[in-house]
Structure 1
Amino acid sequence: MRHQGLVPGEIRAATEESDTRGVRAECGESDAFMDTGRAPLWQEEPAVRRRMADPVRTAAVRAVIIVALTLIQAMVAFLCTLAGSWFAFPAVLGTVASTVVATWAVLDVWVTRQVWVQRNGVRSQPSSTARELRRERRRARRRQRRASREDPSRIDRAAA
């Protein structure tokens, strides 16, 4: 089998397809055997929400990691306090500091998102209703301008 003009992924797919065809033929299986009439186990569904912007996603990942570490640190401080360990006091101080940092990280996600939206805007398409209303307003303005060019006295009467 020649693989001229195919990219690596296509070569692998073509090779796998020929391999499975050969195995089926050896076992006496056909394509009808593979069609069981059941729904496939995995179905692709379109994403409901758009992907976050890169800076916002980076800040969110950082915030999740910091919050997770803060929660672990708080649990260690709590368990050390229950056990009466000498490490309880430094752990509690560290937890308080980490809570401040975690709060800052979560606020950073919010601020980064607001800044990104302000700089790049929300990319949305207007609904057909809004588009149609704008077209109607444009048509009315054009008619009014055309009428004002043809008969200037008409505008004075319309305004009065």
Structure 2
Amino acid sequence: MEDETRAAGQLWVEDERGLRRMPDPVRNAAVRAVMIMSVTIILALVAFLTSITSSWLAFPMTIAAVVATVVATWSVLDIWITRQVWRQRDGVVSEPSSTAYAGRRERMAEERVA
């Protein structure tokens, strides 16, 4: 009951679940993908509207929209690739012989000493 009244009066309430942030390279790839997707949607809309009006810009805008769709597809795949690369290099992998696990173990040992 107290949490509900406290949350109603506050502008910002912390989430109790404690979800971790995405790693910086993955977040950068996600932001890049969202920006490219928004430009692609705008290009597709302009291509559609110029096609309806039979404008001379219809063909170039359609070509630009198709190219932007290919680039947007790659940018979405880039998120997945970047996430996998980050996990292999910096994440914890279940195999004990993994270089990512050894690197993490060394960093943890250095943090304990410091």
TM-score by length of 1: 0.50
Match of residue 54 from structure 1:
24
CA root-mean-square deviation? 1.7
Deviations 1:104-140 (A, max 9, x none): 11111100000000111238xxxxxxxxxxxxxxxxx
**Which structure would you say has the larger Rg?**
1
SS for the counterpart of 2:25 is helix
Distance 2:75 2:46 in 1: 21
Distance in 1 (CA, whole Å) between partners of 2:37 and 2:47 is: 15
Distance 2:77 2:25 in 1: 14
Q: Give the structure, 1 or 2, with the largest relative contact order (CA under 8 Å, sep 6 or more).
A: 2
Among 45, 50, 54, the alignment partner of 2:15 is 45
Classify the secondary structure of the residue corresponding to 2:14.
coil
How many residues are matched? Answer: 86
- Structural mapping, 1:9-158, within 5 Å: 39-40=5-6, 41-42=9-10, 43-122=13-92
Query: Percent identity of the aligned residues?
Result: 55
**Unaligned stretches of 5+ in structure 2?**
94-114
TM superposition score normalised by structure 2: 0.69
Q: Any stretches of 5+ residues in structure 1 without a counterpart?
A: 1-37, 124-160
